[in-house]
């Protein structure tokens, strides 16, 4: 099986995992697994999660040390479900309806 799809299937099955966990199951280096996971994030099918959640005062972890999180804190990935994608798909449909392409413009 293609390693990219093996990473996808592994994350789907786990629901939530780090790149190191996925790498161990798919048997690829952790940095390669992270790159493949980032591919799925760019496609909108997975998301990167800050392990601190809302604990960081800034809302995004910049590794400032204020919340006690060290640089070794693992980034987690979560496979998006159909329910996660529904609002995004509705927004995309609305954008298409607001800006229809005329037949003459598509030639």
Residue extents of the structural domains in the chain = 3-81
- Could you please state the CATH topology (level 3) that the domain comprising 3-81 is classified under: Arc Repressor Mutant, subunit A (1.10.10)
Mean of pLDDT over the chain: 77
Please tell me the total number of residues recorded for the chain in this structure: 107
pLDDT tens digits along 23-74? 999 999 999 999 999 999 999 999 998 765 544 555 555 556 555 555 456 7
Rounded to an integer, what distance in angstroms lies between the CA atom of residue 49 and that of residue 15?
12
Contact call for residues 10 and 26 (beta carbons, < 8 A): yes
Better pLDDT: 79 or 69? 79
CB-based contact 59:52 (threshold 8 Å): no
Rounded CA-CA distance 100/95 in Å is: 9
Number of neighbouring beta carbons within 10 Å of residue 35:
14
The structure's pTM equals 0.62
pLDDT at site 75: 87
């Amino acid at each position: 099986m293609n390693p990219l799809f093996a990473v996808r299937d592994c994350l789907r099955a786990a629901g939530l995992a780090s790149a190191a966990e996925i790498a161990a199951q798919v048997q690829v280096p952790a940095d390669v697994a992270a790159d493949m996971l980032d591919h799925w994030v760019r496609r909108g099918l997975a998301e990167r999660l800050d392990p601190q959640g809302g604990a960081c005062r800034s809302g995004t972890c910049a590794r400032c040390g204020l919340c006690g999180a060290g640089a070794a804190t693992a980034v987690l990935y979560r496979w998006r479900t159909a329910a996660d994608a529904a609002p995004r798909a509705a927004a995309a449909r609305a954008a298409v309806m607001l800006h229809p392409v005329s037949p003459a413009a598509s030639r």
